[in-house]
């Protein structure tokens, strides 16, 4: 029997009089904005905007003037600072009405907004600025909570609005954001005095107050009443016509995701690789497993904030056929063809060229939702926005029929010249954006330095290490430095097939595939031949030869799906140059070097490159050199294991320089980047020069 529909969460009023007491008017606006934007029951990431009309001293005249403070273009009210607000002379904004030539010239009006800037504020004003400017209220909030958009996107929404709020909240039919909407809203409010807000069909709610606190209270109360009304309408009933497909058990869903995501990623054509995100939250499963799933998914999303992140509609897959590669290839090709037709039906000669036609959202009954984008954060946000769309559909269907935007309106927003201009202003992506790397021994000196280099260049990184404590510390540090979206960690024993398989499945599930493997997990031992036990010999070969074999074998099928990849072995000078009292270690390193050459031959036809970086005496930051290896090597050379050992290795080199983990990371980065795209089967020595280790 199907469960009752997932209820909407009722937002709590989190205003603190104590916190607000010491804030300036501008700081109160920021406080209100951050409270609203940090609550996902109120608005989604980057969604909504807030404003206040404040008295300021004109720097030119010294007179007091009204200035509109409004969230600037592209900001997020949940995390923004004061610098995220645009500030504009209110009288100049209002005067723009005299220049308005109609809806065909909306873009022209946006071009006038910078001329209204107050105090040389560089923050660009958003397209919603007229909504705030032309309302006569001191404080205005415009947010997109799921419960409210569910009303705004339902055939029963207008009637429900009257039932919930009586005559206190108005209703306006869909109108594209812009200057005309601002004027129409102003006139509507003037003709309907006493309103506390207006429902904008397909868009959200706009409301106001005489103070920052009153405006916040109004916003929260409106959302809470909408959510309570919808919960009552859904009470005791299954969502979306009830369950048609049973969700797979959680572990099986994760296994399917790990197998499917690299296949989807490999079939998505384009100039740059994509990063994937998987979610199987309750709300998602409730939708994709339902009887009405396919019909509703085809309608598309309703709110501009949603489909700008997700495209207007997702790709839906048949769970009975996803194991067939031909089926997947055809499904993606058909989606791209349909998207191109959508573009062709709506585009004019003045519109931007068609963008990437691959789906952003892919839905699979019984399993969940997959999203793909140029980077992990964008993929995750797309998943969150489609979850918002699911919530909207659930609420809208409870009181009527869910309505998507007309296709022409959706296209006009997706390909708006202003949106294109925003995309064109974005900085060029860093070289490894869209790439996924797995680094074994990722919590050690060379591994961590390599991961840090990859992250700084935009890659997503999976840290794999047998040391759980060091791994957790490293993951936390990198998450703080680069953002939690980009880094994952998993404990992995490279000598254990099951552990290795789990690590690579984890990478596939978390990021969608694999582009770079750095086989770095290592040990070191020193003993004369006669004192080298079979156990010590096997331990070196288990980690340094078999470990490299197992991780490469796990990487190959993932990289074949992407039709490219880069595998880098962290070798050793000792793979090329003999050394006393280390036959097990040195010969195992030599074995892994030759393994790399063999794999370079096998991988070439699939675009997989395999290369080796040979360090020497990377002492600083190394866990290996913190143990017995340091004493053993010092003993082999008859010197003190302290500073004298590092001095010995530095002076032994041709360049008389110490080799650091960051130096190895630079070489690894080169071999993983486009700069070395025509190099495979190669060895780069990073040893400050050692004639014995010259490769030729």
Written as six digits, the tokens of 503 are 């690590």
- Beta bridge partner(s), residue 278: 370
User: Which residues have C-beta within 8 Å of that of residue 676, sequence separation ≥ 6?
Assistant: 566, 609, 611, 670
- Both structure tokens of 169: 């909240």
Burial of 542 (0-12, 13-18, 19+ CB in 10 A): middle
Q: Which helix (H) or strand (E) holds 460?
A: strand 460-465
| Tokens describing residue 641 | 């294991």
- Burial pattern 424-455, b for ≥16 Cβ within 10 A else e, equals eeeeeeeebbbbbbbbbbbbbbbbbbbbbbbb
CA dihedral for 462, 467, 469, 473, sign (positive or negative) = negative
Contacts of 67 (CB under 8 A, 6+ apart): 53, 54, 55, 56, 87, 88, 89, 90, 118
370/260 Cα distance (integer angstroms)? 9
From the list 651, 631, 650, 649, the residue with the least C-alpha distance to 641 is: 631
Angle separating helix axes 661-672 and 445-456, nearest 10 degrees? 50
Q: Measured between alpha carbons, how far is 395 from 155 in angstroms, rounded to an integer?
A: 11
Six-digit token string for 651: 């002076």
Helices (H) and strands (E) in the chain, counts: 26, 18
- Other CB atoms within 10 A of residue 122 CB: 9
The residue whose two tokens read 């397909």 is 202
Euclidean distance between CA atoms 687 and 614, whole angstroms: 7
Residue pair 361/315 in contact (Cβ under 8 Å)? The answer is yes
Structure tokens at 658: 């110490």
The sign of the torsion formed by the CA atoms of 38, 44, 47, 53 equals negative
Q: What is the DSSP string of 132-195?
A: HHSS--SEEEEE--HHHHHHHTBTTHHHHHHHHHTTSEEEE----SSHHHHHHHHHHHHHSTT-
Would you say 372 and 274 are in contact if contact means Cβ atoms under 8 Å apart?
yes
* Distances from the Cα of 109 to the Cα of 71, 287, 425, angstroms: 18, 41, 19
Say how many C-beta atoms besides its own lie within 10 A of residue 52's C-beta. 24
DSSP string, 402-427: B-PPPHHHHHHHHT-HHHHHHHHHSP
Q: Are β-strands 516-519 and 565-570 bridged in parallel, bridged antiparallel, or unpaired? A: parallel
Find the distance separating the first CA and the last CA of the chain, reported in whole Å.
Answer: 72
Whole-angstrom distance, CA of residue 487 vs CA of residue 485 = 6
Catalytic residues: 585
Among all chains, which residue has been given the structure tokens 């601002």?
182
Contact 575, 614 (CB under 8 A): yes
Cα separations (Å) of 244 from 237, 238, 254, 323, 548?
15, 11, 21, 20, 45
Structure tokens at 642: 């302290």
């Amino acid at each position: 029997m199907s469960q009752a529909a997932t209820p909407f969460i009722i937002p709590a009023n989190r205003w603190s009089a104590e916190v607000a007491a010491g804030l300036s008017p501008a700081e109160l606006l920021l406080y209100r904005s951050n409270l609203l934007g940090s609550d996902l029951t109120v608005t989604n990431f980057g969604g909504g905007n807030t404003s206040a009309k404040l008295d300021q001293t004109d720097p030119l005249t010294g007179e007091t003037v009204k200035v509109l403070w409004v969230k600037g273009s592209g900001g997020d009210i949940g995390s923004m600072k004061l610098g995220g607000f645009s500030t504009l002379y209110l009288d100049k904004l209002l005067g723009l009405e005299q220049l308005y030539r109609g809806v065909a010239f909306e873009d022209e009006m946006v071009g006038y907004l910078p001329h209204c800037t107050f105090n040389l504020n560089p923050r660009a004003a958003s397209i919603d600025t007229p909504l705030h400017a032309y309302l006569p209220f001191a404080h205005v909030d415009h947010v997109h909570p799921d419960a409210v958009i569910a009303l705004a996107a339902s055939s029963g929404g207008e009637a429900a609005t009257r039932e919930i709020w009586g005559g206190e909240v108005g209703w306006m039919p869909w109108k594209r954001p812009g200057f005309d909407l601002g004027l129409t809203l102003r006139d509507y409010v003037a003709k309907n005095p006493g309103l506390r807000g207006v429902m904008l069909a397909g868009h959200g709610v706009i409301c106001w107050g005489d103070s920052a606190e009153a405006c916040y209270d109004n916003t929260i109360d409106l959302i809470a009443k909408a959510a309570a009304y919808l919960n009552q309408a859904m009470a005791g009933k299954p969502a979306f016509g009830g369950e048609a497909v049973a969700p797979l058990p959680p572990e099986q869903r994760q296994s399917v995701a790990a197998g499917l995501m690299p296949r989807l990623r490999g079939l998505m054509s384009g100039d740059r690789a994509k990063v994937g995100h998987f979610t199987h939250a309750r709300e998602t499963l409730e939708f994709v497993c339902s009887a009405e799933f396919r019909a509703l998914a085809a309608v598309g999303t309703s709110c501009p904030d949603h489909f700008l992140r997700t495209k207007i509609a997702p790709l839906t897959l048949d769970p009975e056929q996803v194991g067939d590669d031909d089926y997947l290839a055809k499904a993606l090709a058909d989606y791209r063809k349909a998207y191109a037709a959508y573009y062709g039906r709506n585009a004019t000669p003045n519109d931007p060229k068609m963008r990437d036609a691959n789906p952003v959202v892919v839905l699979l009954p019984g399993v969940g939702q997959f999203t793909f984008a140029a980077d992990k954060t964008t993929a995750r946000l797309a998943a969150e926005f489609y979850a918002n769309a699911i919530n909207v559909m659930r609420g809208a269907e409870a009181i009527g029929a869910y309505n998507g935007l007309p296709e022409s309106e959706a296209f006009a927003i997706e390909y708006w010249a202003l949106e294109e201009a925003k995309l064109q202003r974005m900085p060029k992506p860093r070289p490894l954006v869209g790439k996924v790397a797995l680094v074994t021994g990722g919590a050690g000196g060379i591994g961590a330095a390599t991961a840090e280099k990859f992250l700084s260049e935009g890659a997503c990184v999976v840290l794999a290490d047998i040391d759980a404590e060091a791994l957790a510390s490293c993951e936390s540090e990198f998450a703080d430095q680069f953002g939690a979206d980009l880094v994952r960690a998993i404990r992995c024993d490279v000598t254990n097939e099951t552990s290795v398989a789990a690590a690579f499945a984890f990478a596939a599930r978390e990021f969608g595939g694999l582009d770079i493997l750095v086989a770095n997990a290592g040990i070191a031992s020193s003993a004369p031949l006669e004192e080298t036990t079979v156990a010590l010999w096997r331990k070196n070969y288990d980690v340094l030869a078999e470990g490299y074999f197992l991780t490469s074998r796990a990487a190959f099928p993932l990289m074949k799906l992407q039709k490219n990849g880069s595998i880098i072995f962290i070798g050793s000078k000792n793979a090329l140059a003999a050394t006393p009292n280390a036959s097990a270690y040195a010969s195992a390193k030599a074995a892994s070097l030759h393994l790399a050459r063999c794999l370079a031959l096998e991988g070439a036809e699939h675009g997989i490159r395999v290369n080796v970086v040979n360090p020497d005496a990377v002492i600083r930051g190394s866990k290996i050199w913190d143990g017995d290896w340091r004493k053993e090597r010092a003993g082999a050379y008859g010197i003190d294991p302290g500073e004298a050992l590092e001095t010995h290795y530095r002076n032994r080199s041709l360049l008389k320089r110490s080799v650091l983990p960051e130096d190895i990371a630079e070489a690894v980065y080169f071999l993983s980047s486009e700069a070395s795209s025509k190099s495979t089967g190669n060895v780069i020595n990073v040893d400050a020069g050692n004639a014995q280790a010259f490769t030729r």
